[in-house]
Chains A and B, each alone.
Chain A
Amino acid sequence: MSSPVLEIVDLHKRFGALEVLKGINLTMHQGDVVSLIGSSGSGKTTLLRCVNLLEEYEDGVVAVAGEQIGYTKKNGKRVRLSEREIARQRAMTGMAFQHFNLFPHMTAMHNVMLGLIKTRRMKKDEAHSVAEKWLERVGMLARRDHYPGQLSGGQQQRVAIARAIAMNPQLMLFDEVTSALDPELVNEVLSVVRDLAKDGMTMLLVTHEMQFAHDVSSKVIFMDDGRIGEEGPPDQLFRQPKSERLAAFLKSSKFS
């Protein structure tokens, strides 16, 4: 069997004196969809950001497709990779943010094309047709010449997902992609994510939409104060929580 898409071994992350991740282990294979649930402040976002190297981590290993992310060993010492290497590694994973983070000065089309041209070194024409394909997939082709400021939140998020996925990443990271949206816009984004899962995209996602997590995931992880509190197939986790904490959390998030 080929190496796992994502392998996290004993990951520790600290903000000053505050230890936010206290030894995380996680292995994901091609096509896995893993959902992270848990109360606010439990470290879900931080975990995702470590995988995308938007945060540095002190201890442990994060490897994507068999390659350690961010660091290498030199003479037995752990040293950070060069900026260029890190940029290359970041492009191996795609990230969709809670607040979309579209580039406000570019049209939907150019938002998707930028990474293809600058990072993937595509010709303009090629980038254009790849971008077209993905905008079509997320149902945003008709709005390709609109600027982010001219789109609704749900539309912006779909463009942002197209931007990340067009880079053809090995792994997609979704950080609460619907929690900044008005309720009536949530479904258009969730259905895009659902389609991607159906197509076999490997995905690690943070969500507060419990029904969605239940339907889409191959595995659900309950994060509790920087540790994995409980993990397993969705049915088991949602129907038969072992710990008090998970049961309480599920009750408060009204999973039915």
Chain B
Amino acid sequence: MDYNFNFAAVWRDFDLLMSGLGLGLILAVISIAIGCFIGLLAAFGMLSKNRAIRWVSAGYVSAIRNTPILVLILFTFFALPQLGIRFGKIESFIVTLSVYSGAYLTEVFRAGLIALPTGLREAGLSIGLTEFGTKLNLIIPVMFRNVLPSLSNNFISLFKDTSLAAAIAVPELTFYARKINVETFRVIETWMIASLMYVLACYVIAAVLRQVETRLAIPR
């Protein structure tokens, strides 16, 4: 193998890669925030007494989870405009990733809700809270804290999924890596650095989230 390493060509564009990494993080944060909201609704939906609501929620989760995310991304960006639903590429990606993460978070929240002791709701009702007040003050906060570790895992895989935004030319890390790859032909260096950046980012995110988890955990 006669390949001459030359990292300088890639380092020159390191700030581009960093900005791409930053954008990926932002996309993941926004999407998981919206996804949490969707997931919460669908999780309550799956546990609803109303059969139609249960059915719609379960259908959403099962459809999204069994469809490749790339198909969802392309569908939102290229096909929805046919119905007059038009987004910019970043917005389009956020919509896709939110709906996508919502389906996974539905499962997380549903499991969290089922695991709660029934006494929690009853104690809330017995001091005169309404069903809604019980959900808002007791059920959701306790469930949320209990599922924080799964939430962290979901966030990390969501962050990795932002690499797919490159498929619709959103300028995140993978997009710039491909660009640099083509422009410099420093193939090995480019992909080594790009994947190292992802790996390190995942480590850092995991460490930060573990801190957050212990900070927010219910003391016992």
Contact = CB atoms under 8 A, between A and B. Distances in A.
Q: Chain A interface: which size bin?
A: 20 to 34
Q: Tell me which of A94, A118, A150 has the highest count of chain B C-beta atoms within 10 A of its own C-beta.
A: A118
Contacts of B129: 87, 114-115, 118-119
A99 interface: yes
A77 interface: no
A6 to B, nearest CB: 16
Interface in A146-160: 147-150, 160
Interface string B169-189: 000000000000000000000
B130 A102 contact: no
B122 A83 contact: no
A103 interface: yes
Interface residues of B, number: 22
B22 to A, nearest CB: 33
B137 A150 contact: no
Contacts of B117: 99, 101
A94 B119 CA distance: 14
Nearest to B124: A103
Contact of B133 (A100, A118, A120): A118
B220 A103 contact: no
A167 B131 CA distance: 18
A94 B126 contact: yes
Interface of A: 52-54, 83-84, 87-88, 90-91, 93-95, 97, 99-105, 114-115, 118-120, 147-150, 160, 163-164, 167
B133 A103 contact: no
Contacts of B133: 87, 118
B145 interface: yes
A149 B142 CA distance: 13
Contacts of A167: 127-128
B218 interface: yes
A48 B120 CA distance: 17
A95 B137 contact: no
Given A87-B129, A103-B138, A164-B127, 5 more contacts: A94-B127, A97-B123, A104-B218, A118-B137, A167-B127
B219 A103 contact: no
A88 B142 contact: no
A104 B130 CA distance: 19
30 contacts: A54-B125, A54-B126, A83-B131, A87-B125, A87-B133, A90-B126, A90-B127, A91-B127, A91-B128, A93-B126, A95-B123, A95-B126, A97-B122, A101-B117, A101-B123, A102-B123, A104-B120, A104-B218, A104-B220, A105-B141, A105-B218, A114-B127, A115-B129, A119-B128, A119-B129, A147-B218, A147-B219, A148-B220, A164-B127, A167-B128
Q: Tell me which of B119, B124, B125, B126 has the highest count of chain A C-beta atoms within 10 A of its own C-beta.
A: B126
A150 B128 contact: no
A113 to B, nearest CB: 11
B120 A54 contact: no
B127 A115 contact: yes
Contacts of A148: 220
B130 A115 contact: no
Q: Tell me which of B127, B141, B142 has the highest count of chain A C-beta atoms within 10 A of its own C-beta.
A: B127
B125 A83 contact: no
B88 to A, nearest CB: 40
Contacts of B138: 103
A134 to B, nearest CB: 13
A147 B124 CA distance: 17
Contacts of A150: 219-220
A119 B127 contact: yes
A105 B128 CA distance: 19
Contact of A149 (B125, B126, B131, B218): B218
A42 to B, nearest CB: 21
